[in-house]
Chain A
Amino acid sequence: MANAEAIVSPPFRATGSSLARNRRRAAVLFIAPATVLLLAIFVYPFGYALYISFTQWTLGQQSVPTWAGFANYAGLVGDGRFLNAIFRSAVFVGLAVSIELVLGFLLALLFNKHLPGFGIFRTLAVLPVMVMPVATGLVWFYILNFRYGPLNALLRSLHLPTQNWLPNPTGAMAALILADVWQWTPFVMIVLIAGLRSLPEYVYEAAELDGLRPVETFFKITLPLLRPVILIVFLLRFMDAFKLMDLVFMLTKGGPAGRTETLSYYIYVLGLQLFRVGLAAAVSILFLIFISIATQIFVRYMYREQTGDEFA
């Protein structure tokens, strides 16, 4: 029985110091430009944000920040609004990303088929991702509106009970998830299609020669080979869903009564509506720490099987 691992990662050890120098030079050549750019753009702002998080600074009321030590962080410990925001974010990200991954994968398999017209269908299916996030929120706000929204109009015409979607606490969260799934599932789908299509032909030819049935091919070859792509798409969606703000802003403004106030929306309110930039920075730093830890866990799991294989 053919094994995907054996096909794609034969051991190959490099020898010789000039070869090692060559490798190092190549590594630097490839990686340096991007790294330098990122360091230049992000290191100072991050440091400054870290500094601000230790200050009490409200724009418009103070012209300079005043040092406050850990006061911002300490204040967050018992802050009900902060803890609520964490909970709401967890619910939203958990549900939305799970749905997007599963649905996106199924759709990738579906839309990947080489049937007539599917090329156009694929292009059409990407449209939701292209819409400006604020516009997405507004459109769904319109659709779900109790009085004049098309969804309730549809229910009415089918003589089904109409729902008061957005003012309802559970309904509001469901609406948020629905809008996010609508907008981002195509992203998952396209990336997975790209992944499926970059799997080399001859792997499948070899599998066929070895007499594998389609189902076995899928589970023993396709899925393992796709693993890096699946995991990266999960990681990206995980991070982006946590950062989501525009949708909440347009759809629910965190309501009703804070039931959909996610962490990133809370940061927006703190920083750019109340101008309490010190506290906003503190919450952002905590946000960053949490996401870093979570992604570290995922990344280590993802690459735990990567051996120290050297390449040429």
Chain B
Amino acid sequence: MNENRQSAMRLRRRQLLEAILALGVARLAPAAPVAAVAATAARAAEASALNGAEVKALFVGDPFAQASQRVIADLNRMAGGTISMQVVDFDSMHQKILLDAPSASPAFDVYSWEFSWLGEMVGANALRPLDDFVTRDAELLKIDDIPKANWDATLWKGKRYGIPVQPHAELTWWRTDLLAAAGLQPPKNTDELLAAAKVLNKPDDGVYGFLWKGGRGAPLGQTMVHAFAAFDQPAFPNWQSGNWMPALNTDNAVRATEWVKEMVQYAPPDYLNIAWDDEARRFAQGEAAMTFTWFGRESFFSDPTKSKIVGKYAAGPWPSAPGLSARNSFGGWVLGLPAHISPERAEIAWRFVRWYTSAPVERLLIENGNIDFPRISLIRDPALQKAHPVFKTVLELVDQDAFKAWIRAPVPEFVALTDLLGTTMQEMLIGGMTPKQACDKVQADMIVSLKRTGKLT
């Protein structure tokens, strides 16, 4: 067809223009010293990962992908090839990986997948096990530098399916100035959090106690799962031994739900519409004394041109119920290869993944907006810690081994669960049912769902 010829012409034209631009960029290089330093370091670490080849990547539009887009020219130079990167939203990423990755000739070489999708991906035969590559290049990978919880979470039934590229965790954030003024210590458990929210809730002054994510579906659903975990209630306690009975209306679960219901009293009136990083933005505007948000959002708080609370905040782990050990959920993205990728392309894709997730490249991305903890060496780095104080908090959690994968079980049912929680719990929050009724309903609905897919009989 005509389009083949057209695209060939376009490619040639593009290569010519790129060559010209490369000359121009070389002259512009002095204006970007940071990128240049990182570039030389990265180049030294991994000479020509791509060797002139092109790699096609499908990434979700998260900070790591957006940071990559900003420095794509540098990345291409450093990798010694062409990175053709398509960036899509969360739902599209999920759809494409299910529809395209299992096929005999996948459209992309590298896909980003979310930790909690692992079970589903393996079940759909979407990902290629990477054990052969990992064993071969173990030294280059520097596995010790990857936080243990993240590394373990890429295993399914003994096989490795990806390399973490952007893990993130949800932390508690609070306003140090407001707590100090009220004579409070940073809250250490759920009771203290509730008490602090009550004291600090001053709607007449325009400051609420707690910014709560109540958005319907996944935002509220995930928050509820975290709350259950805080009260020591995993959603599917025995799934790993094959018993799928959910535990969503136990005493712990009901207590967690009641705690949530009490917490939202100290939230802004429109909390049911707050989803994702709205809470971070509004926290940066000083709307509340505390909030939960992904730690990458620290960039909202630390930029003086954007934030009203610079220097007045601190972070800590999600609280647990009194007497329980620290536990923090984590989620985030992993890079994997499609199941039926050809051996030649697999080699190219693997070299790209190995290079892209290495510390020097991740460092470049962090410097360009991706606040993240893929590599321990980076969160230990004093310069980066100075620029992003939250790294210290995360480092502590990594050292304490506080990140628990059981909180967000990597099973397909997890999506159904968050959807169910997100809808039923919203009903509970607007007064439609009591916490106990809501928990009973979620338990019943989840059982129906599991029976339907044959996980329960």
Where the two chains meet, the residues of A that have a C-beta atom closer than 8 Å to any C-beta of B are 56, 58-63, 145-147, 164, 166-167, 169, 252-258, 269, 272-275
Q: Is B268's CB within 8 Å of the partner chain A?
A: yes
Q: State in angstroms the CA–CA spacing of A133 and B102 once bound together.
A: 31
Inter-chain contacts of A253 with B (CB < 8 A)? 215-217, 275
Residues of B within 8 A of A61 (CB): 120, 123-124, 412, 453
Q: How many Å from the CB of A145 to the closest CB on chain B?
A: 7
Known contacts A63-B125, A272-B95, A274-B416, A255 near B270 by CB under 8 Å? no
Cβ-closest 3 pairs across A and B: A255-B216, A146-B270, A167-B272
B98 → chain A closest CB, angstroms:
5
**How many angstroms from the CA of A145 to the CA of B412 in the assembled complex?**
33
- Whether a CB of chain A sits under 8 angstroms from the CB of B84 is no
- Residues in B whose Cβ lies below 8 Å from that of A275: 98
Q: Are A256 and B270 in contact (CB under 8 A)?
A: no
A59 touches B124 (CB 8 A): yes
Chain A residue with the shortest CB-CB distance to B219 = A253
Tell me whether A146 and B268 are in contact in the complex, defined as CB-CB below 8 angstroms, given that A60-B120, A60-B124, A257-B427 are known contacts. Answer: yes
Q: What's the least CB distance linking A251 to chain B, in Å?
A: 10
Question: A269 near B419 (CB under 8 angstroms)?
Answer: yes
B432 proximal to A (CB < 8 A): yes
Consensus secondary structure, chain B interface: helix
Q: In whole Å, how far is A155's beta carbon from the nearest beta carbon of chain B?
A: 15
Sample (13) of A-B pairs whose CB atoms are under 8 Å apart: A59-B98, A61-B124, A61-B412, A62-B453, A63-B124, A146-B269, A164-B270, A167-B430, A254-B423, A256-B426, A257-B216, A269-B419, A274-B415
Q: CB-defined interface of B416-428 with A at 8 Å, one 1/0 digit per residue?
A: 1001000100110
CA distance A84 to B92 in the complex (A): 27
- The CA of A258 and the CA of B422, in the complex, are separated in Å by 10
Complex CA distance for A1 and B287, rounded to whole angstroms: 70
State whether B268 touches A147 (Cβ < 8 A).
Answer: yes
Contacts of A258 in B (CB 8 A): 423, 427
With A60-B124, A274-B419: A256-B430 Cβ-Cβ less than 8 Å: yes
CA distance A238 to B453 in the complex (A): 36
Interfacial chain A residues near B123, Cβ < 8 Å: 60-61
A269 to B287, CA, bound (A): 32
State A145–B379 Cα separation when bound (angstroms): 37
B286 to chain A, nearest CB (A): 12
How many Å from the CB of B239 to the closest CB on chain A?
14
> Complex: how many Å from CA A146 to CA B269?
8
Whether B325 is near chain A, meaning CB under 8 Å from some CB there, is no
Contact (Cβ within 8 A) B416 A166: no
How far is B412's CA from A60's CA once the two chains are assembled, in angstroms? 8
B419 adjacent to A147 (CB under 8 Å) = no
Choose among B98, B124, B273, B427 the residue that contacts A167 (Cβ–Cβ < 8 A). Answer: B273
Most buried by B among A59, A60, A255: A60
Q: Is B452 an interface residue (CB 8 A)?
A: yes
Interface size on B, residues (CB 8 A): 34
A164 to B77, CA, bound (A): 51
Asked if B95 and A255 sit within 8 Å, CB to CB, the answer is no
Determine the residue in chain B with the shortest Cβ distance to A58. Answer: B453
Give the shortest distance, in Å, between B303 (CB) and chain A (any CB): 18
Residues of A within 8 A of B344 (CB): none
Any A CB within 8 A of the CB of B282: yes
Smallest beta-carbon distance A68→chain B, Å? 10
> B91: CB under 8 A from chain A?
yes
Chain A residues near B99 (CB-CB < 8 A): 59
User: CA separation between A167 and B287, bound complex, in Å?
Assistant: 18
**B125: A residues at CB distance < 8 A:** 63
Given contacts A56-B452, A61-B120, A258-B423, contact A164 B269 (CB under 8 A): yes
Other-chain residue from B95, B102, B216 in contact with A256 (beta carbon distance below 8 A): B216
CB distance from A282 to the nearest CB of B (A): 13
Bitwise, B231-271 to A at CB < 8 A (1) or not (0) is: 00000000000000000000000000000000000001111
Most buried by A among B270, B426, B430: B270
Q: Give the most central of B121, B272, B412, B432: most A CB within 10 Å.
A: B272
Nearest A residue to B120, CB-CB: A60
Closest CB in chain B relative to A270 CB, distance in Å: 10
- Contact partner, B282, options A147, A255, A269, A272, Cβ 8 Å: A147
Given contacts A58-B453, A145-B270, A255-B426, 13 further A-B contacts (CB under 8 A): A58-B412, A59-B99, A60-B98, A61-B123, A62-B453, A63-B102, A167-B271, A255-B215, A256-B216, A269-B217, A272-B95, A273-B419, A275-B98
A167-B453 contact given A61-B123, A255-B216, CB 8 Å threshold: no
Task: For the complex formed, measure the closest distance between the CB of B87 and the CB atoms of chain A, giving whole angstroms.
Answer: 16
Query: Chain B residues with Cβ under 8 A from A273's Cβ?
Result: 91, 94, 415, 419
Contacts of B269 in A (CB 8 A): 146, 164, 167
Report chain A residues within 8 Å CB of B287: 147
Chain A residues within 8 Å of B426, by CB:
255-257
Q: Which residue of A lies closest to B215 (CB)?
A: A253
Determine the distance from Cα of A254 to Cα of B427 in the docked complex, in whole angstroms: 12
Q: Which of B142-170 contact A (CB under 8 A)?
A: none
Report the nearest B residue to A272, measured CB to CB. Answer: B95
Instruction: Name the one of A58, A167, A274 contacting B270, with C-beta atoms under 8 angstroms.
Output: A167
Specify the chain A residue showing the minimal Cβ separation from B423.
A258
Using CB atoms, name the residue of chain A closest to B452: A56
Q: Are A272 and B453 touching (Cβ within 8 A)? A: no
- Complex Cα distance A73/B271, Å? 36
Instruction: Return the chain A residue nearest B270 by Cβ.
Output: A146
How many angstroms from the CA of A169 to the CA of B272 in the assembled complex?
A: 11
**CA–CA, A257 and B429, complex, Å:** 9
CA distance A273 to B273 in the complex (A): 19
* C-alpha gap A166/B430 in the complex (Å): 13
Q: Which residues of A contact B271 (CB under 8 A)?
A: 167
Q: Chain B: which residue is nearest A278 at the CB level?
A: B452
Kindly state the separation between the CA atoms of A239 and B297 in the bound complex, as whole angstroms.
42
Contacts of A147 in B (CB 8 A): 268, 270, 282, 287
Q: Nearest Cβ distance between residue A24 and chain B, in whole angstroms?
A: 35
Q: Chain B nearest CB: distance from A70 CB in Å? A: 15
Residue of A nearest to B275 (CB): A253
Instruction: Tell me, in angstroms, the Cα distance from A59 to B416 when the chains sit together.
Output: 13
CA distance A59 to B94 in the complex (A): 11
Chain A residue at minimum C-beta to C-beta distance from B92 = A272
Cα–Cα distance between A252 and B215 once the two chains are bound (Å):
9
C-alpha spacing A164/B268, complex, angstroms: 10
